[in-house]
Chains A and B, each alone.
Chain A
Amino acid sequence: MIRSTHLPLVITIATFVLAFTLCAWQYPSMLSTRVVANLLTDNAFLGIAAVGMTFVILSGGIDLSIGSVIAFTGVFLAVILRDTSIHPLLAFAIVLAITVAFGASMGAIIHYLDMPPFIVTLAGMFLARGAAYVLSTDSVPITHEFYDTLQSLYWKAPGGGRFRLTGIFMILTFLVGVIVAHRTRFGQNVYAFGGGQATARLMGVPLASTTIAIYAVSGGLAGLSGIVFSLYTSAGYSLATVGVELDAIAAVVIGGTLLTGGTGFVAGTFFGILIMGLIQTYIVFDGTLSSWWTKIVIGGLLFGFILLQKGLTWATTARKKPATDFAAQS
C-alpha cells in the first residue's frame, strides 16, 4: 500500500527508472552489468556518507564537515600505514573511533552551547581539513597487501560487471540505515526531532543524547566513507573530496528528504545517489557533452524536487481528512 508520504520516494525511483530507460534506449550498451557495477563502485564512498547526512537532515540539522572528514580519514590511514606496522583493520578501528568522537563533540557543542549546526559543522569542516593538511600535504599512496586483498575481492557478473567489495559495503550501509531509521527508537527519535524539537522534548525524546548520537553517526559514516575512498583510490590526499558534503546534500534532497527535516527516507537517498551517478555515466557515454552539465542538471533536479516538496506540503495542508469520514459508531 502506498502512503501519501511515500510519494516523493516513488517519484525519485520513477525518475531513476525513467532516466535509466531513456539512457538505455539511446545507448543500449548502458544496459549492462558493467555500468551498474561501476555505478555502485564509483559512488560507494558518497553513498555511505550520504546515509549519515540523511540522518542529520532528517533531524533538521546539517553537517558540512563530511567531505573534510573523508579526506582526513584517507590521509590518516595512508600515513599510519606508512609510518607504523599496525594492521589496517586496527587502523580502521582507530580512525572510526576518531571520527565518531569528532562528530559527537560537534553534536555536544550544538546542543550544550546552543549554536546553529551550520556554523559548528563549518568550523568542524575547517578543523578536519586542517588536520589532514597537518598530517600530509602530499598524496600518500597506500601499499599494503591487505588493501590489495580487499581490492581484489569482487564478484564478476555475467556481462563483465565487477561488483566490488566497496559497492557491497555501500548497499549494506543503506540496509542498516533503513533498519535504524524505521525499526529503532533512535531512528524514531531522529524523525521526531525533525518534526519539532520543542514538541519532541515534551513527548519525552532525550535532546542531548539524540543530538550527540546523530552527529556521531554522521561523523562515523564519514569515517567509513573515508576508508572506502582510500580503498577506491589506494591513497590518502588532503585535497581530496572537497565539496562532497554538497553532493551528499543534493543526493538526500533528490532522494525526497525535506531539508527542513522530519520527512524522508534513507532508501530515497540511495536512488538520489544513483540518479546523480547516472547523469555522470550518461555524459561519459555521450562523449560530446561537457562535464559541467552534471552540475547544472543536478542543480535543476534539486530545484525540481524542492518545488515538488513545497507543492506536496501545500497540498496536504490544504486537504485534511475530515473527522466525520473516520468516526466509527461512537
Chain B
Amino acid sequence: MENAVQPVLRCTGISKFFPGAIALDEVNLELYGGEVHALLGENGAGKSTLIKCMTGAYRRDAGVIHLSGEEVSPANTKDSQALGIGTVYQEVNLLANLSVAENLFLGRQPTRYGFVSQREMQKQATEILQEFGLSINPAELLSSFSVAIQQVVAIARAVTLSGKVLILDEPTASLDREEVDLLFSVIRKLKERGLAIVFVTHFLDQVFEICDRATVLRNGRIVGSRILADTTQTDIVTLMLGRQLESKVHDRVVSEGGKKLLELKQFGKRGVIDRFDLNIREGEVVGLAGLLGSGRTETANLIFGVMQADHGEALLRGEKISLKAPRDAIAHRFGMCPEDRKTDGIVGDLSVRENIVLALQARQGWFRPLQRSKVNELAEAYVKALDIRLASLDMPIRLLSGGNQQKVLLARWLATNPDFLILDEPTRGIDVGAHAEIITLIEELREKGMSLLVASSELEELVAYSTRVIVLRDRRQVRELKGDEITTQNIVHAIADEKTDQALRETA
C-alpha cells in the first residue's frame, strides 16, 4: 500500500464497449501483494467485465495491464492462469464427478512410467490441502463435500496453478457463517504468502472483516477507492448506490392503501429467508430494499410459489390459500416479473405476441384458445400502451432490447388482469427512457388500485414509487419505512445498519 512498493497487478485505462453501451470506462486498478482488495458495485456496475478483461475472458478495447511490472495481454483464461492470475467463481468451476485430488491435478497429473500415479496424486493433494487447512480425504468425490470445501479446493487449484493474483468472484454467496470462517482463514493464509487477492462480494460485513482496501465501481467507472480501516459502511453504500443521496422528502399522500389483500404470517423457508410477516393492501406499492443476497428475490420467489415456504401461512382477503407453485399464485391473480429475464422470464424463440398471451393462455387452459383476433387486439393494445418498440409482433422476443423485453413481460401479466403484481428488479439492464416509463407505469397501476411488491437495488426508484419500503439484510427483514421516512438516506442507514457497524468497530 505504500507508494514505494510496486503493485503486483496494475490496470491502467481499461475500457470495454458493448454495442450501444460502455461497460468499462477508463478503469484504473492497482493490486498489491499481501492485500485483499474488495471490488464492489451493484449488478451491472462492471465488476464482472473488469474481471473478465483481467483474465482474458474478454478482449479489452483499451488499456494496459502490468503484472509484476511487465506488460501482459492474456488472450484467454488459460493464458492468464499461466501468467499467474487465477480465478474462482461463485459456482465452483470444478468437476463434481471427479475426486478432490483429480480436480486439483486435472491436466497435470503426476505420472509414473507414463501412467497417472493415483497414490502420488493423493499424497500431493493431501499436502496441498493441509496447507489450506483442510484435512479431508482427497480420494473422495468433490460432490460429497460442502460448497465451502469445494471453494477451498478451487482456490487451491487456482493458487497452485497461478500463484500471483487470486480473484474470488462472490465465493461466499451460498455459504453459511461457519463456512465463511473456513474460507476466510484460507484467504488470510494466502495473504500472508504475499498473494494479491481480489474479493468480489455483496456482503459488506465480510468486506470490512477480511479486506484491506475497497474499490467501488458504478456504471463502468471507478467512483472511489477507500482504505477500509478509515471508512464506514454508510460511506461505502453511498458510493455503491450513488447519485446524490439527497434527503428528498416524500411529497406523496400517505396512503394506507385500501383493504387488506394479502397477509403473510410467519412466512419463511429455512436457509433461504427468515420467517417474516407481510401485509399488502390494495393500491399500495411495497418496496423491497437491500443489497444483493439480502433476501429480496427470495421473498418474491416465496410469495409467487417458485420456492415453497416451509413455514407460515398466506391469507388472501382473509382466506387461507396455498402457494405451492406459480400456477397457484396465478390462479389467485398474482403476477411476477422475475429478476433474471433471460432464464425465467422470456421464452426466447416465441414471438412477442405469444409471449404476451402466454400467462393468460396458461391460466385459461389448453383447450380454450384465445381467439386470434382477441390475441392480436391484446398484443397491439399493450404494444401501444407500453410503447414497446418492435418491427413486428411475429418477431422472436429474444431479438428485442432488454427494456422492450421487460415491457413485454409486464404486458404478459397485465393481460391477465392481476390483483397483485411482483416485480423483481424491473429496471435492471434497461435504457434510461424505458426506465422512466416503467416507473410511471408502476405509479399508474397503483392509482388504479393494483397492489405491487417491487424489489429493486435502485434506491431512488424505490423512493419514487413506494408507499412503504421494507429493508432486508442478511435474509431478514430489518426495517419498515413509511411515508416521510422513505428517503434514500434512511434506506442506506438501514442497509448499512449503523449500530452493528459501530459495535463491530468497538470489538475489533
* Residues of chain A whose beta carbon lies under 8 Å from any beta carbon of chain B: 3-5, 179, 182-185, 187-189, 191-192, 194-196, 199-200, 202-205, 262-263, 316-317, 320-324, 326-330
Contact = CB atoms under 8 A, between A and B. Distances in A.
Interface string B92-111: 01111110001100110101
B322 interface: no
Contact of B116 (A182, A192, A200, A205): A182
Given A203-B95, A330-B133, A330-B185, A184 B141 contact: no
B139 interface: yes
Given A185-B109, A195-B95, A321-B146, 5 more contacts: A3-B140, A4-B140, A185-B107, A323-B178, A330-B185
A328 B182 CA distance: 9
B95 A328 contact: no
Nearest to B175: A323
B97 A323 contact: no
The 3 A-B residue pairs with the shortest CB-CB distance in the complex, in nearest-first order: A195-B95, A262-B97, A330-B133
Given A5-B141, A328-B135, A192 B179 contact: no
Given A183-B115, A199-B94, A330 B182 contact: yes
B145 interface: yes
A135 B26 CA distance: 68
Interface of B: 77-78, 93-98, 102-103, 106-107, 109, 111, 114-116, 118, 130, 133-136, 139-141, 143-149, 178-179, 182, 185-186
A194 B96 CA distance: 10
Which of B98, B139, B145, B185 has the most CB atoms of chain A within a 10 A radius of its CB? B98
A199 B140 contact: no
Given A328-B130, A328-B134, A329-B133, A195 B98 contact: yes
Given A4-B141, A327-B134, A203 B118 contact: no
Contact of B106 (A4, A188, A316): A188
B146 A316 contact: no
Contacts of A324: 178-179, 182
Nearest to A194: B97
A5 B141 CA distance: 7
Nearest to A263: B97
23 contacts: A5-B141, A183-B116, A185-B107, A185-B109, A187-B116, A188-B102, A188-B109, A191-B95, A192-B95, A194-B97, A195-B95, A200-B95, A203-B106, A204-B106, A205-B107, A316-B141, A320-B146, A321-B145, A323-B145, A323-B146, A323-B178, A324-B179, A330-B133
A196 B95 contact: yes
B179 A182 contact: no
A260 to B, nearest CB: 10
A109 to B, nearest CB: 25
Contacts of A196: 95-96
Contacts of A316: 141, 143-144
Which of B106, B118, B185, B186 has the most CB atoms of chain A within a 10 A radius of its CB? B106
Contacts of A185: 107, 109, 111, 116
Which of A189, A196, A328 has the most CB atoms of chain B within a 10 A radius of its CB? A328
Contacts of B145: 320-321, 323, 326
Contacts of B98: 188, 191-192, 195
B146 A191 contact: no
A262 B145 CA distance: 17
A286 to B, nearest CB: 40
A188 B105 CA distance: 10
